[in-house]
Structure 1
Amino acid sequence: MSVITRDVPVDTARVTKRRVQHDGKWWAFAVGKAIVGIVFILAALFPLAWMLIAGFKTKTEVLATPFQFFPEVWKWENYAQILGDPTFMLTMGWTLLGAVLFTLLALTVNSLAAYAFARLDFRFKRTIWVVVITTMFIPGMTILLTSFIVVTRLEMLDTLAVLVIPGAASAGMIFFIRQFYLSIPASLEEAAMLDGCGRFQIFLRLFLPLSKPPFVVMGITAFLAYWNSYVWPILTITSPDRYVVQQYLATFRSERATELGLLMAGSTLAAAPVIIIFLIFQRQIIGNIKMAGLK
């Protein structure tokens, strides 16, 4: 049986015109998207850039009118002076120590709680879980006074413990890590049990090594929460040698209000660790956020 075929004439001019229109629309969309992205990036980076450059200005140039972005004379002495201030360096080291301890404690406590809620069966589990989740909707300011009374009676005021311990347990962190643990196949846990591992060994040898994705996100969140804390430290810390960095900057501003260039230099150095951490872990943060969105 023979098949008869014939050539179908194609309007090449019309096809070419459609391709040109499609390519034109695609390029216009790409250019518009790039412009919007650049505008958002500049808007986000402008405050940081201004703070960095303001650290090189004199006392009067920071708030000079009309606005002047760059200084007339770059005053490098501001950064040298703030770096040479032993009180500032002590505050940075003290804050860094507290932030690291707080992050480690928060990850330990909340990951154990998340494992318990994800994998263990115990009485009143659902009820306790509801109570834990409910605390996410309670603003921290509403329990500030009661928390202060508790730490006062425990004689924790003016110590590193009062900054590290009270906020370590977090319902949001427990929820985030628990969701990740629920995605781990139960067959891995069953295989570990057949090998003679107990619950704690399973957590240490199986779940903990797999917890890098949520630990990166939650660890950075905990670090930033401690580093940027202000209200709780001013209530519980009174010794200047135990100030956190935000507390030090607020005191600096009130006592030396005219030295705004020096204040901007200190603020830039205080923000540097946070920026460095984000630059190091930005891929993990973005990847984990995408993963959480897909789940």
Structure 2
Amino acid sequence: MTMTGQTSATTLGAEVAAAADTRTPQRRLRRSARSTGPLGTVARYLASAVVVVAALLPLAWMTISGFKARSEVVTSPFQFFPDIWYPQNYVEIVQDPAFMRALGVTFGGAILFATLSLTVNSMAAYCFARLDFAFKRTLWAIVLGTMFIPQMAILLTSYIVVTRMGMLNTLAVLVIPGATAAVHIFFIRQFYLGIPTSIEEAALLDGCSRWQIFLRIFLPLSKPVFVVVGITSFLAFWNAYVWPIMTITEPDSSLTQIQQYLATFRSERRVEYGMLLAGSTLAALPVIVLFLVFQRYIISGIRISGIK
């Protein structure tokens, strides 16, 4: 590709990104407030406060219950705060090398899984959105059809496949299966369909290949939708329990996931509620931080998902 093609493709991508949203959320909020009046504004803020309290209350209870002794967690009548604060639960969890190892391995695996998911699903979405090839509609119908197959329905067959491939008790068995998801391909494809075709045509005239168009135009514009898909993939890996239990079978394995570790506090005879809730609180912190860092892009990605 010529230097002119690179400059033109990059400039066109920047112009589309700058013109994607002409009104800021603050201006839309002020306009909505003027149209509904003061009573509507108060009602909207009250409704938002109720939703926030309802969403944060379980998290607050879990965090505070981590400071309770086992008997206080299940005491009757219910009490929100403990009579005696018992921070030993958090201290023991943090000092346990198995917990820190499981937390680090799960976080690293989730990052790798999200990266692989974005790479594969974005390329597939671009092919279905922009390229013409044989049996495209038939293949797209098959891809969409997989969205309606419950994961539990293929759990046993997936286990047989990875067993015969010798993938048990490896990082690959946790990362590779499930990286491709029809719902993510569909979501990214809908976003790509909203990008004007004139940009591609101009880039092709300047000598850009399809691969260069994807890398230099589509990927820079995909930040909001990538954040949504990436965080969804991250959470899917982070919260996985059944699949790691089936595929990571070695005792005290270095690949033990955080949900597997937390399950050790539950048994048929006894449940260590204080330790379990303390560990669950610490395990939720990386996800909460992730949402706080990328919340602006998450909101933007959800908004643009309704364009097409």
Counterpart pick for 1:154 among 151, 165, 172: 165
Equivalent runs, 1:113-124 vs 2, <5 Å: 113-124=124-135
Tell me what 1:245 maps to: 258
Identity %: 63
1:14 alignment counterpart: none
1:257 CA drift (Å): 3.6
Q: Is the 8 A contact 2:66 2:275 kept in 1?
A: yes
- In structure 1, which of residues 261, 272, 280 is the aligned counterpart of residue 274 of structure 2? 261
Is 1:53 the equivalent of 2:67? Answer: no
Show the 5 A alignment for 1:35-184: 35-184=46-195
Aligned to 1:200: 211
Specify the SS of the correspondent of 1:252: coil
CA distance in 1, matches of 2:113, 2:271: 34
Displacement of 1:207? 1.2
| 1:199 to 1:256, Cα distance in 2 relative to 1, 3 A | farther
For structure 1, the 5+ residue unaligned runs are 1-24
Question: Which whole-Å CA distance do the structure 2 matches of 1:55 and 1:146 have between them?
Answer: 39
Whole-angstrom distance in 2 between the partners of 1:26 and 1:207: 41
Q: Deviations over 1:138-184 (max 9, x none)?
A: 11111111111111111111111111001000101001111111111
User: How many Å apart are 1:36 and its aligned residue?
Assistant: 3.3
Give how far 1:94 is off.
0.7
Give the equivalent residue in structure 2 for 1:13: none
2:283 pairs with one of 249, 270, 273: 270
Retained in 1: the 8 A contact 2:191–2:307?
no
Higher radius of gyration, 1 or 2: 1
Q: Which sits farther off after the overlay, 186-195 or 110-119?
A: 186-195
Q: How far did residue 134 of structure 1 move? A: 0.6
Question: Aligned pair count?
Answer: 272
Q: TM-score, normalised on structure 2?
A: 0.83
User: What is the aligned partner in structure 1 of residue 202 from structure 2?
Assistant: 191
Taking the aligned partners of 1:256 and 1:78, their CA distance within structure 2 comes to 20
Paired with 2:147 and 2:70, the residues of 1 have a C-alpha distance of 44
What's the CA shift for 1:185?
A: 1.5
The CA distance in 2 between the partners of 1:79 and 1:265, in whole Å, is: 6
Distance 2:207 2:50 in 1: 58
Moved more, 75-84 or 268-277: 75-84
| TM-score of the pair, normalised by structure 1 | 0.87
Letter in 1 for 2:99: F
Q: What residue ranges of structure 2 are gaps of 5+ in the alignment?
A: 1-35
Deviations 1:92-120 (A, max 9, x none): 01101110110000000000101111111
When the two chains are superposed, the root-mean-square deviation of aligned CA atoms in Å is 1.9
What is the CA–CA distance in structure 2 between the aligned matches of 1:258 and 1:104, rounded to whole Å?
36
